[in-house]
Amino acid sequence: MAPPPFYAIISGVGSGTGASLARLFARQSYAVVLLSRKPSSYEPFVAEITAAGGTAIGISADAADPAAVDAAFERIARELPDSKLAAAVYNGHAGMARKPFLEMKLEELETSLKTTANGLFIFAQKTIPLLLASVPSSPHPPTLLVTGATASVRGSAFFSTFAAGKFAQRALTQSLAREFGPKGVHVALAVIDGGIDTPWGKDRVVNNGVEDGKISPDAIAESYWHLHTQPRSCFTQELDIRPYVEKW
Amino acid sequence: MAPPPFYAIISGVGSGTGASLARLFARQSYAVVLLSRKPSSYEPFVAEITAAGGTAIGISADAADPAAVDAAFERIARELPDSKLAAAVYNGHAGMARKPFLEMKLEELETSLKTTANGLFIFAQKTIPLLLASVPSSPHPPTLLVTGATASVRGSAFFSTFAAGKFAQRALTQSLAREFGPKGVHVALAVIDGGIDTPWGKDRVVNNGVEDGKISPDAIAESYWHLHTQPRSCFTQELDIRPYVEKW
Amino acid sequence: MAPPPFYAIISGVGSGTGASLARLFARQSYAVVLLSRKPSSYEPFVAEITAAGGTAIGISADAADPAAVDAAFERIARELPDSKLAAAVYNGHAGMARKPFLEMKLEELETSLKTTANGLFIFAQKTIPLLLASVPSSPHPPTLLVTGATASVRGSAFFSTFAAGKFAQRALTQSLAREFGPKGVHVALAVIDGGIDTPWGKDRVVNNGVEDGKISPDAIAESYWHLHTQPRSCFTQELDIRPYVEKW
Amino acid sequence: MAPPPFYAIISGVGSGTGASLARLFARQSYAVVLLSRKPSSYEPFVAEITAAGGTAIGISADAADPAAVDAAFERIARELPDSKLAAAVYNGHAGMARKPFLEMKLEELETSLKTTANGLFIFAQKTIPLLLASVPSSPHPPTLLVTGATASVRGSAFFSTFAAGKFAQRALTQSLAREFGPKGVHVALAVIDGGIDTPWGKDRVVNNGVEDGKISPDAIAESYWHLHTQPRSCFTQELDIRPYVEKW
| Chain C neighbors of B118, CB-CB under 8 A | 106, 109-110, 113
CB D209 within 8 A of CB C226: no
pLDDT score, position A95: 64
CB A164 within 8 A of CB A216: no
pLDDT score, position C201: 77
Q: What is the DSSP letter of A200?
A: G
Residues 6+ apart with CB under 8 A from D78: none
Q: Which long-range contacts (CB under 8 A, 24 or more apart) does C103-112 make?
A: C104/B121, C104/B125, C104/C160, C104/C161, C106/B66, C106/B118, C106/B121, C106/B122, C106/B125, C108/C161, C109/B117, C109/B118, C109/B121, C109/C160, C109/C161, C109/C164, C109/C165, C110/B118, C111/C161, C112/C161, C112/C162, C112/C164, C112/C165
The pTM score is: 0.97
For chain A, list residues whose CB is within 8 angstroms of any CB belonging to chain B: 141, 178, 181-182, 184, 186, 197, 212-216, 219-220, 222-223, 226, 229-246, 248
In chain A, pLDDT over 90 holds for what percent of residues? 89
D178–chain C nearest CA distance, Å: 7
A7–chain D nearest CA distance, Å: 22
Asked if C155's CB is within 8 angstroms of B174's CB, the reply is yes
d(CA C137, CA D140): 34
| pLDDT at residue B95 is higher than 80 | no
What CATH number has the domain spanning D6-241?
A: 3.40.50.720
Query: Around Cβ A191, how many Cβ atoms within 10 Å?
Result: 23
Q: Where would I find the H helices in A91-216?
A: 106-113, 119-134, 160-180
Tens of pLDDT along B2-37? 789 999 999 998 769 999 999 999 999 999 999 999
A125–chain D nearest CA distance, Å: 6
d(CA D186, CA D226): 12
For chain B, list residues whose CB is within 8 angstroms of any CB belonging to chain C: 66, 100-102, 104, 106, 109-110, 113, 117-118, 121-122, 124-125, 128-129, 151, 154-161, 163-180
Sign of CA dihedral C105, C109, C110, C115: positive
d(CA A97, CA A94): 9
Asked if D239's CB is within 8 angstroms of C233's CB, the reply is no
Residue C95's pLDDT band, with cuts at 50, 70 and 90, is low
d(CA C10, CA C59): 10
pLDDT score, position B96: 79
d(CA A108, CA C234): 37
Mutate to test the interface with D, among C145, C173, C244, C245 (most CBs of D within 10 A): C244
Nearest chain C residue to D231 by CA: give it.
C219
Of D226, D232, D234, the CB nearest to C220: D234
pLDDT score, position A208: 85
Q: Which residues of chain D have pLDDT under 50?
A: none
pLDDT score, position D143: 98
pLDDT score, position B240: 98
Of C66, C129, C157, the CB nearest to B102: C129
B142–chain A nearest CA distance, Å: 12
| pLDDT at residue C7 is higher than 80 | yes
**Per-domain residue ranges of chain D:** 6-241
pLDDT score, position B112: 95
Nearest chain C residue to B165 by CA: give it.
C168
pLDDT score, position D209: 87
pLDDT score, position C93: 67
Nearest chain D residue to C225 by CA: give it.
D226
Q: Which helix (H) or strand (E) holds D127?
A: helix D119-134
D207–chain C nearest CA distance, Å: 11
Q: Identity (one letter) of the amino acid at C230? A: Q
Q: Identity (one letter) of the amino acid at D126? A: K
Those chains having 3 or more beta-carbon pairs within 8 angstroms of chain B are: A, C
| Chain C neighbors of D246, CB-CB under 8 A | 181
